[in-house]
Amino acid sequence: MEFLRPATWDEALAAKAEYPTALPIAGGTDVMVELNFDVHRPSAILDLNRVTELTEWTNDGSVVRLGASVPYARIISELSGPLPGLALAAHTVGSPQIRNRGGVGGNLGAASPAGDSHPALLAAGRDVHVEAASVRGTRLIPIDEFYVGVKRNCLEADELIRAVHVPVADGPQQFSKIGTRNAMVIAVCAFGFALHPKNGTVGTGIGSAAPTPRRAVEAEEYLQGVLAERGLWESGELLGTEVVQRFGELVKAAASPIDDVRGTADYRRHALAVMARRTLTWCWNDYGKQIRSAA
């Protein structure tokens, strides 16, 4: 097995172009487990740990460009202001050791439907993009289009993830995850929710309840409609149980879960509805408070 250790991003891209089957390794928290369990025997490994740009982030005030290898621990400590949903999701990943090593690039690379970044990224707005690069150039892939199947993403063989672009939160965001223990657990299902008052939209993301992470589009449209029609963005008034309930039902309907060792499809649907109701309520209560205190 070849072990490639590029020192710079350009070298990394060149190496990936030369060895398209090389398996990138960032924190290694997925890769090493799979090697250990003999899931694959890659012909080459491309170690990205010397490429320091990948562990940096920038914030231009409207968008955070989050380097692929910024570990979860730093997302929590440095970015919970601009990216509250992702930071909450990061909190739920593994254990302190895993959060020190693992990052969003690896989560996207693995593209597991149970990855915890995904619901938060999906909910964070329409302008979330994965910045993928190769010697051929750079493209910004809308997050919705990134996941294409169970543990499959739309990267080309010669591409690497450079960063994710996530709009700075302009409203409350929440993330909830179900696990059968209280820490260090892979999601039975998860839900991300965000309010985007600036453009009058809401964001949702469902994890572990379909072949890929996905948005609950009808639920978003329903809620956006209600918020606009009733002038709730302006008033910040309570939504009422009917709206909350309906939103939960639509989120539930958007999922297509299976029965597996972690839980049943029925439970996943049920729990998504509960999490959808709760996260919406938390976000809306916060938003209402903001409106009232601004008034």
Partner 1 sequence: MATRTIQGQKNLQNINQASKDGIGGSPLRPDGNLKVRGEFAYSSDLWHEDMLWGMALRSPHPRANILSVDISEALKVPGVYAVLTHEDIPGSKYYGLEIRDQPVLAIDKIRYHGEAIALVAADHPETARRAVKKIKVEYEVLTPIVTEEQCLDPETHGYVHEPHEYKSHAYGNICHEQKLVSGLGVTDEVRAMADVIVSGDYEVGMQDQAFLGPESGLAVPAEDGGIDLYIATQWLHVDREQMAPVLDLPEEKVRLTLAGVGGAFGGREDISMQIHACLLAQHTDKPVKIVYSRDESFYGHVHRHPARMHYEHGATRDGKLVFADCRIVLDGGAYASASPAVVGNAASLGHGPYVIPNVKMHAIALYSNNPSCGAMRGFGAVQAAFGYESQMDKLAAELGMDPVELRQLNAMSEGDFMPTGQQIDSPAPVVELLQRAKDMPLPPPLDTEHLDVRALPGALSNTSHGEGIVRGVGYSVGIKNVGFSEGFDDYSTARVRLEVIGGEPVAMVHTAMAEVGQGGVTVHAQIVRTELGVEQVTIHPANTEVGSAGSTSASRQTYMTGGAVKLAAEAVGRALIEKGRRRYGWTHQDITLAGGKVVSESAGVLVPMVDLLGDEAIDLTREHHHRPTQAFDKETGQGFGHVQYTFCANRAVVDVDVELGLVKVVELTAVQDVGKALNPLSVVGQIQGGCTQALGLAVMEEIIVRDGKVRNASFTDYLIPTILDTPPIPVDVLELPDPHAPYGLRGVGEAPTVSATPSIVAAIRNATGLALNRIPVRPEHLTTEQPG
Ligand X SMILES: Cc1cc2nc3c(=O)[nH]c(=O)nc-3n(C[C@H](O)[C@H](O)[C@H](O)COP(=O)(O)OP(=O)(O)OC[C@H]3O[C@@H](n4cnc5c(N)ncnc54)[C@H](O)[C@@H]3O)c2cc1C
Q: How far apart are CA 64 and CA 230, in angstroms?
A: 32
The distance of closest approach from Cβ of residue 205 to partner 1 in the complex, given in angstroms and rounded to an integer, is: 14
Identify which range of 96-104, 134-142, 197-205, 283-291 contacts ligand X by CB under 6 A.
96-104
Contact with ligand X (CB under 6 A) among 6, 19, 27, 74: 27
In the chain the beta strands, taken as DSSP E runs, fall at: 2-4, 23-25, 44-47, 57-59, 63-67, 129-134, 137-142, 147-149, 152-153, 160-167, 173-178, 189-196, 201-207
Tokens of 132: 């993928």
Q: Would you say 23 or 122 has its CB closer to ligand X? A: 23
CA 82 to chain centre: 15
The distance of closest approach from Cβ of residue 3 to ligand X in the complex, given in angstroms and rounded to an integer, is: 14
Contact with ligand X (CB under 6 A) among 30, 47, 220, 249: 30
Q: How far apart are CA 165 and CA 9, in angstroms?
A: 18
Does position 119 interact with ligand X (CB under 6 A)? The reply is no
Return the one option of partner 1, ligand X, none that residue 106 interacts with (CB less than 5 to 8 A, by type): ligand X
Q: Would you say 105 or 192 has its CB closer to partner 1? A: 192
Return the one option of partner 1, ligand X, none that residue 169 interacts with (CB less than 5 to 8 A, by type): none
Return the one option of ligand X, partner 1, none that residue 176 interacts with (CB less than 5 to 8 A, by type): partner 1
Does position 113 interact with ligand X (CB under 6 A)? The reply is no
Chain residues in the site for partner 1 (CB under 8 A): 36-38, 88, 91-92, 95, 174-186, 188, 261-264, 266-267, 270-271, 274-275, 278, 282
The distance of closest approach from Cβ of residue 48 to ligand X in the complex, given in angstroms and rounded to an integer, is: 5
Q: What is the dihedral of CA 276, 278, 281, 284, to 10 degrees?
A: -60
The distance of closest approach from Cβ of residue 277 to partner 1 in the complex, given in angstroms and rounded to an integer, is: 9
Identify which range of 77-85, 109-117, 246-254, 268-276 contacts ligand X by CB under 6 A.
109-117
**CA neighbor of 153 nearest in space, from 141, 164, 163, 162:** 141
Query: Quick check: helix, strand or coil at residue 100?
Result: helix
- Structural contact between residues 193 and 272, judged by C-beta atoms closer than 8 angstroms: no
Does position 107 interact with ligand X (CB under 6 A)? The reply is yes
Q: Which residues contact 154 (CB under 8 A, 6 or more apart)?
A: 141, 145, 146, 147, 148
Q: Would you say 91 or 165 has its CB closer to partner 1? A: 91
**CA neighbor of 226 nearest in space, from 205, 254, 200:** 200
The distance of closest approach from Cβ of residue 82 to ligand X in the complex, given in angstroms and rounded to an integer, is: 20
